[in-house]
A and B are shown apart, each in its own frame.
Chain A
């Protein structure tokens, strides 16, 4: 009993530690006073002015656009690359996987400056394009590392059987391989999207002047004082994701209970 209480107290403490800053931000989004140092009363005005703040809305659009394009492109390139990597010999495969691991293991700051040096030397114009190229680069490994295990679990004979039965390679891929690796592709896509959305360091080095994502905008605002609209925006994002998560987590539970029931009934009938 005491053990259980201790456990729960520990969980609560960790929960408080992780959520204290988030609660702070949510509270600040309702703060009438412009500085975060003092409480000036409750207001909803930042939620209204957020949508007319072009700088923040522009940064939000950039962030979403980059995350979406980067995750789609990296999912495509990464998944196709996995098919190829599976067919390489052992030595080539370990070389390719080694290179794939570099952006994940290396310090983000080094990845950022290395891409910055590349763009400077090859006269790329810094802007949305360079951010996008960088994000695709660090997103592909996440896709490959989540699709690859699925690929390795595939039964190779199923695909060959499809070919023997007259399916073309493309048709065979879409009908036999793709459904099997789909969960890996989905989780790779989601991971890439989240990583791109939250990235600051690599964007910091590869963005041009005048182009901002939410992260870089916040970073430049830190010195001058963050606009309260930013708190409002992040509260909206947070609550949206919270609701989505609750929906996604709630549904399978319902389904599971249902199938449990069905199984029980089936057993009853059978017994």
Chain B
């Protein structure tokens, strides 16, 4: 039997080799390039270059926009998840229809379509001016990027929240009501604490892709607004300064790890509160 077990372990070696070569070594190379200069000598200059005006501006703008988008996503997704979990019967196929189906239309095209909708003479403004309302001027502004982020990442907030809320035992809610809790109290004392794991995984699934995007900002923000993702992308595809690009990527990874640690702490805090 032991022999058999060892054979089973060896079965995994294609994957172990694969992940060593295509996950660990590439990541190590980002660190190597990020910590050396063009001649290969050790330096911290690439990482320190984050304090250059343009870079730090890109980082702060990305943090700001992805934070706002995440908050908007929570505010939009929470009522949605509650409504969906209340209508239990047909909701599963409904959710697939409303959230998964759009993903089959290419995400670049969908984001592009917002250009058509938001433009100065676009669809939304035509309708607004027809109704005699003031026109929107949000294309090529940070607001358009926020809209694009919310649009693209909202499903990633709704799905974990829905999973969480629909699993809450109705008897617990009924018990609270029987004991005299009003709707608000039921929400703050029962539904909200029990849905924290959903909020947490929603936050990581929205915040990190939003923080690191370069596509949405390029398509909806015009060419003038640079997020940290755009700066890194340009270092690799246009400036060909891999060392600088890798250095900035290391900074980005540090922010990802910090945001994960923070959400982890909140997660633990939420759990212990509940218990």
Given known A109-B212, A113-B249, A133-B22, contact A83–B109 (CB-CB < 8 A): no
B30 touches A117 (CB 8 A): yes
Q: Mark B231-250, 1 if CB is under 8 A from A, else 0.
A: 01100110000100110010
Q: Does B14 reach chain A (CB closer than 8 Å)?
A: yes
Q: Does A153 reach chain B (CB closer than 8 Å)?
A: no
A17 touches B151 (CB 8 A): yes
Please give the distance in Å from A164's CB to the nearest CB on chain B: 11
B215 touches A245 (CB 8 A): no
B212 touches A81 (CB 8 A): no
Q: How far is the CA of A193 from the CA of B139 in the complex (A)?
A: 33
Interface residues of B in 8-30 (CB under 8 A from A): 8-16, 18-19, 21-27, 29-30
Given known A10-B83, A83-B11, contact A25–B5 (CB-CB < 8 A): no
Given known A22-B113, A102-B27, A106-B256, contact A137–B18 (CB-CB < 8 A): yes
Q: Does B48 reach chain A (CB closer than 8 Å)?
A: no
Given known A83-B8, A109-B212, A169-B4, contact A226–B112 (CB-CB < 8 A): yes
Among A20, A87, A215, point to the contact of B108 (Cβ < 8 A).
Answer: A215
B23 touches A103 (CB 8 A): yes
Q: Does B93 reach chain A (CB closer than 8 Å)?
A: yes
Given known A14-B80, A84-B10, A87-B8, contact A20–B117 (CB-CB < 8 A): yes
Among A36, A108, A115, point to the contact of B212 (Cβ < 8 A).
Answer: A108
Among A21, A114, A231, A242, point to the contact of B114 (Cβ < 8 A).
Answer: A21
Q: How far is the CA of A95 from the CA of B103 in the complex (A)?
A: 32
Given known A14-B76, A109-B233, contact A241–B101 (CB-CB < 8 A): yes
Among A87, A140, A215, point to the contact of B106 (Cβ < 8 A).
Answer: A215
B106 touches A100 (CB 8 A): no
Interface residues of A in 184-207 (CB under 8 A from B): 194, 197-198, 200-201, 204-205
Among B15, B23, B105, point to the contact of A238 (Cβ < 8 A).
Answer: B105
B26 touches A117 (CB 8 A): yes
Q: Does A85 reach chain B (CB closer than 8 Å)?
A: yes
> Chain B contacts of A121 at CB under 8 A?
29
A234 touches B109 (CB 8 A): yes
Q: Does A61 reach chain B (CB closer than 8 Å)?
A: no
Q: How far is the CA of A87 from the CA of B3 in the complex (A)?
A: 12
Q: Name the residue in A87, A103, A121, A194 with the highest tally of chain B Cβ atoms < 10 Å from its Cβ.
A: A87
Please give the distance in Å from B220's CB to the nearest CB on chain A: 11
A245 touches B80 (CB 8 A): no
B19 touches A231 (CB 8 A): no
Q: Does A171 reach chain B (CB closer than 8 Å)?
A: no
A117 touches B242 (CB 8 A): yes
- Chain A contact-residue range equals 35 or more
Please give the distance in Å from B25's CB to the nearest CB on chain A: 6
Q: Mark A210-248, 1 if CB is under 8 A from B, else 0.
A: 000011001100100010001100100110011001000
Q: Mark B17-55, 1 if CB is under 8 A from A, else 0.
A: 011011111110110010000000000000000000000
Q: Does B193 reach chain A (CB closer than 8 Å)?
A: no
> Chain B contacts of A109 at CB under 8 A?
212, 214, 229, 232-233, 249, 252
B4 touches A107 (CB 8 A): no
> Chain A contacts of B104 at CB under 8 A?
194, 197-198, 237-238, 241
Q: Mark B67-90, 1 if CB is under 8 A from A, else 0.
A: 000000000100110010010000
Please give the distance in Å from B94's CB to the nearest CB on chain A: 9
> Chain A contacts of B249 at CB under 8 A?
109-110, 113
Q: Does B253 reach chain A (CB closer than 8 Å)?
A: yes
Among B98, B105, B107, B209, point to the contact of A200 (Cβ < 8 A).
Answer: B107
Please give the distance in Å from A83's CB to the nearest CB on chain B: 6
Q: How far is the CA of A214 from the CA of B19 in the complex (A)?
A: 27
- By beta carbon, the residue of chain B nearest A21 is B113
Q: How far is the CA of A149 from the CA of B62 in the complex (A)?
A: 35
Q: How far is the CA of A84 from the CA of B14 in the complex (A)?
A: 10
Please give the distance in Å from B117's CB to the nearest CB on chain A: 6
Q: Does B110 reach chain A (CB closer than 8 Å)?
A: yes
Please give the distance in Å from A220's CB to the nearest CB on chain B: 10
A22 touches B105 (CB 8 A): yes
> Chain B contacts of A107 at CB under 8 A?
208-209, 211-212, 229, 252-253, 256
Q: How far is the CA of A242 from the CA of B209 in the complex (A)?
A: 27
> Chain A contacts of B113 at CB under 8 A?
20-22, 24-25, 28
Q: Does A118 reach chain B (CB closer than 8 Å)?
A: yes
Among A106, A118, A140, A253, point to the contact of B15 (Cβ < 8 A).
Answer: A140
Name 18 A/B residue pairs within 8 A (Cβ), A-sorted: A10-B79, A11-B83, A21-B113, A24-B113, A77-B18, A78-B15, A80-B11, A81-B15, A84-B16, A96-B19, A99-B23, A103-B23, A198-B104, A198-B106, A218-B108, A226-B112, A231-B109, A238-B105
19 other contacts beyond A21-B114, A84-B8, A117-B26, with CB at 8 A cut-off?
A11-B80, A81-B16, A86-B8, A106-B253, A107-B211, A109-B212, A109-B232, A113-B30, A117-B246, A118-B21, A140-B15, A140-B19, A215-B107, A218-B112, A222-B112, A230-B109, A238-B101, A238-B104, A245-B101
